[in-house]
Homo-oligomer: A and B are copies of this chain.
């Protein structure tokens, strides 16, 4: 090259604001000395690091991307202790500054969500085929534990529809509650324990990123599928059907509804549908005017009270309306002795625990993050997992089943002005009063009102706007969404999820297997090189073919890329021959977007260089990123390229190579 020794400062538009100021205020007349006016920058290797250092960096990025120990740096021991306490018990972060004003807001929101939690708790427990009282127990202990351990201020904790549904389905396939109620309860609590253990371990091992593999597209489809099934299953309560399938697929549920038409009770249907319409209307009103959130928040409890009064008044006249019946008074009984750690159903309990655990984690963390973003604070995923896990493990010992942050109640909580996790404590206290004194009032609460409440809740899970958006933006995301929707509807919940995750991962692999390659051209008057087919103003640089590869070069695409690049070269040569332009002399591979390379990729680069050398074409690389540069260095491929084959930018490559051609014509 030889021109590096003779460097000249050259003018290059606006490099940084300081220069910008200078040029912006005066007419500058830079002198450009002839031949060579270009400065060629060397491509730097990243700083040498040992394997241990790299491994440490890699592991810290995997497990500690949020750098949780950052706050502890340069602090006194006492301060570190306090911070550590605050780290493990977020309650210590906000409790010291807690004020009466905050309490007032929290009391209002706490009572509001309690009025929602009572009917929902009873309904969701029925969805899980559990006794209604378990739903109320589950709205008492877990919120208390979450308020100490959790980092979200707006999360309303309790049972939710999806996990209730999944638990109910998975357990009912092997054990029937009506036949073996004790075993069923034992399995539910054991599954809850394993769900908690799984969640806490994910948090403790900082493996929180596994839930990222449930993409939003997958979840949209999954939720919609589950919602359809749940809503149809509720026709049992709404129509007053007695004999109903415990299966979850579309076909058996529909056949249960229509094959028991003799069991339909018109009184139940009339009242149920009326309340359903009422609930849906209040939901619509609140959705249109967020300020009127309290209408939909209050309507479930109001409907429960109203329908109970109605049944009490009509009980002598109307028969065949199923009611909740007797509920035991008193607080959560301990259930540690009900956990099963052996026997034939252990695998089922573990499987159910893991699936409900991961689903409730996903929902809880997504909800927590949503409201944290609205109020501009951070929710630590791994810490939340620990909190969820511990609260479920504690719950499993106190007659609770799987709980998490509920979207609907958290939204109400947020709208009602909750300021801290104290609203959860207020809610739990309200539940305490209910459990201790108000249980007999639910004796005449009809089942159809629970069905109506569940239908109203799950209809909100069908987000068809999101599905339409997926279709518009990304067809493959839509495919993943539909796979999980149809999988849940027609096969089963776990298989639907697995298919959807498979499609999502396949999509990533497809992008890697067949990456985009583009031909770049120069935008006249600049150093910018851009896609020729996208930028009409970009022009081909004669004698050069500039290719950009838009993916890491891996074993999965190295063969394809080699073929594709050779095809580009062949097409370029044909085009040149057809248009009688100056012949191709140099191929520049823009490596900016090649974010990683493996040994197969390096072999491809080496092969390409060999093949092009045989065709007397120069082959150079532009702007390899750090890790790629490092690997190429380690594999000694750089020796064959030498300094001449590597450039920092495409522009410098073009300038340097064409000036070297001028020098030796």
Contacts and interface: CB of A to CB of B under 8 A. Distances in A.
Given A541-B17, A655-B14, A33 B38 contact: no
B61 A514 contact: yes
A341 interface: no
Interface in A577-630: 592-593, 595-596, 598-600, 602-603, 607, 610-611, 614-615, 625-627
Instruction: Specify how many copies of this chain sit in the oligomer.
Output: 2
Contacts of A33: 27
A318 interface: no
Nearest to A552: B511
A90 interface: no
- Nearest first, the 4 closest Cβ-Cβ pairs linking A and B are A215-B555, A14-B655, A17-B658, A550-B595
A215 B17 contact: no
A563 B66 contact: yes
Contacts of A182: none
A648 B537 CA distance: 13
A13 B38 contact: yes
A541 B23 CA distance: 17
17 contacts: A12-B526, A13-B37, A13-B38, A14-B655, A15-B522, A20-B658, A41-B528, A44-B535, A212-B560, A215-B598, A215-B600, A474-B631, A477-B599, A508-B508, A528-B648, A531-B626, A534-B626
A65 interface: yes
A85 interface: no
Contacts of A376: 611, 614-615
B524 A16 contact: yes
Nearest to A36: B24
A505 interface: yes
Given A32-B28, A212-B559, A555-B212, A66 B634 contact: no
Interface string A546-579: 0000111011111110011011000000000000
Contacts of A530: 648
A534 B46 CA distance: 5
A662 B19 CA distance: 13
A17 B654 contact: yes
Contacts of A639: none
Interface stretch (A119-127, A254-262, A465-473): A465-473
A457 interface: no
Interface of A: 9-17, 20-21, 23-39, 41, 44-47, 51, 54-55, 58, 61-62, 65-67, 209, 212-213, 215-218, 373, 376, 378, 381, 469-470, 472-477, 504-505, 507-516, 518, 522-528, 530-531, 533-536, 539, 541-543, 550-552, 554-560, 563-564, 566-567, 592-593, 595-596, 598-600, 602-603, 607, 610-611, 614-615, 625-627, 631, 634-635, 648-649, 651, 654-655, 658-659, 662
A504 B274 CA distance: 58
A32 B23 contact: yes
A651 B563 contact: no
A473 B600 contact: no
Given A16-B522, A20-B658, A534-B626, A509 B504 contact: no
A62 B556 CA distance: 12
Most B CB contacts (10 A, CB to CB) among A62, A518, A550 go to: A550
Contact of A13 (B12, B28, B31, B474): B12
A224 B58 CA distance: 29
A61 B512 CA distance: 12
A512 B39 CA distance: 35
B599 A20 contact: no
A536 B41 CA distance: 12
Contacts of A28: 32
Contacts of A475: 51, 54-55
A14 B625 contact: no
A634 B507 CA distance: 19
B13 A504 contact: no
Given A17-B542, A27-B33, 11 more contacts: A13-B527, A17-B655, A24-B34, A29-B29, A29-B32, A44-B534, A66-B567, A376-B614, A474-B598, A511-B552, A515-B595
